[in-house]
Structure 1
């Protein structure tokens, strides 16, 4: 019995959209390790290999190996009935002729069930040999899709050449020729550089925090100095009061004069203290607002560095020797539809060996093999 639960139906929908134009009917081979599909197109020029690992499912159970013969166009129609974020459950009993698909909505009580008839498909599984490729090109999948779509407007074939200069895509058409060169860019190391840069930004932020602490120390010093000045002023005023008292007593004047003068001195002291307090409050407010501005700047810098870390990698080229091969653009355009599954694509080339176009994603991988054109074919 098979029971496989995917967290999102979008994975299956994207896979089927990528391969349905290459292959009409195919067997999904199910075993305890996951679900695997391998099929060739009708002209036997391209081969597609799909692997959904058991670990990529929310829950997975397969009691024994079993093939599920499916018409991909029919399965695509059934999958269109599901929303991208629906929970998708695949069920099939041993020796069953029906595949059950259940879609459970996340935010409602809606449960949709569909049964699709299975087919008996005779297909030989091809053994794909492990190959040490002469060149490996890693690039953003969106860029690869754009290149092959643009060149397909001009010609039917593309010549891919990997050299020390970079990777070159060249096509010749009846009306125009196209030539696109991608060089190994610093964007490959940019993610790491940005990561280290973000570390330096953190150090800078810490340094700024240190400066803010220095500002706080300055405020404390100002307040301390203000207190000392107030104490000095109080001491001077007390001395003045004592001298005046002595002077009044010596001159034989009424001692009640001292109370009035004391009131005046007290009023002056209170006004002086209020002015000092106002100045201290205004200065402390000004100094406290400054770190808030710095915090905004820091948050913007940190956000910018986080965004930089999320940028896709640039062009990475690994080459053992010069490679120059020609391929059909029609197939490459179909391969590029898998860009919805992964942001990165790998092109692996060797002279007189099929091209490998690989997309790795969370649940597994999808790989295409395309035979090169020889001579004028």
Structure 2
């Protein structure tokens, strides 16, 4: 038996909004420690990893490991029926059942809504993500990163990320011109949320798809900060913390050929 309760129903709504344009369906693995999703997008360019710790829920119970195939689009439609933070959400699934139930209850307890969604039979594809020492780590306001991706996508299809010393430069080039946005490591840490932190172990320059980076910024609503982990010829990691729950991470393969030909 699996049962999880969240007073803030918006957390799950934000989670589905952050992944639904990348994934049509995904496997949710429920254990006593929490819920984990790890799925490669249909084009096999990016990977999404979502972790929701048991202690992040107001109530959480999972007697035995449960693997559920979820249609992300349908789940998103159901979650939109909740009244954001005004509703308490309870999710239930029985062992061996082919359905999952979502119950929304208003804080005044005047309204109670229940939705049943059929589960899917999906091939579970779980990858072991190795820990690596990244050449460059950038921590910055998530809204700034969102603006960078949005603005540079007006000029080109790819974004070059170059890290050197205490600076990171985002740039692109296209038929209509070029664009460059540079951030220098913040000297003062009085306001940590607006600070830009750049840690460079080795000067690094890699190229990534604008389209995917813009899709990743759908998770901006989760956190005021975003962390970018960049290494030579390795997938970039874009990580957003989810307060009190854990995190969502996106892995994006670099454009190796474009980088080598530039």
- Which category of TM-score, normalised to the shorter sequence, fits these structures? over 0.9
* 1:153 to partner: Cα distance: 1.1
Q: Which runs of 5+ in 1 are unaligned?
A: 192-310
Per-residue CA shift, 1:261-315, capped at 9, x if unaligned?
Answer: xxxxxxxxxxxxxxxxxxxxxxxxxxxxxxxxxxxxxxxxxxxxxxxxxx72310
The equivalent of 1:139 in structure 2 is 140
Give the superposed CA RMSD: 1.1
Is 1:327 matched up with 2:208? yes
Matched residue of 1:149: which SS? helix
Q: Which residue of 1 aligns with 2:180?
A: 179
* Structure 2 equivalent of residue 351 of structure 1: 232
Helix, strand or coil at the partner of 1:375:
helix
Aligned partner of 1:318 in structure 2 is 199
Q: Runs in 1 of length 4+ with deviation above 4 angstroms?
A: none
Which residue does 2:130 correspond to in 1?
129
**Higher strand proportion (structure 1 or 2):** 2
Aligned residue for 1:129, secondary structure, equals coil
TM-score (norm 2): 0.96
* Structure 2 counterparts to residues 1-377 of structure 1, below 5 A: 1-85=1-85, 86-187=87-188, 189-191=189-191, 312-362=193-243, 363-376=245-258
Q: Deviations over 1:138-157 (max 9, x none)?
A: 00000000000011111100
| Distance change >3 Å, CA 155–CA 44, structure 1 → 2 | same
SS of match in other structure, 1:312: helix
The superposition leaves residues 193-219 of structure 1 with CA deviations (integer Å, 9 ceiling, x where unpaired) of: xxxxxxxxxxxxxxxxxxxxxxxxxxx
Alpha-carbon contact 2:140-2:194 (below 8 Å) kept: yes
Asked whether the 8 Å contact 2:17–2:76 carries over to 1, the reply is yes
TM-score normalized with structure 1 length: 0.67
**Aligned residue pairs, count:** 257
Greater RCO, 1 or 2 (C-alpha within 8 Å, sep 6+): 1
Distance in 1 (CA, whole Å) between partners of 2:224 and 2:258 is: 34
Tell me which protein shows more helix as a share of its residues. Answer: 1
Structure 2, unpaired ranges of 5+:
none
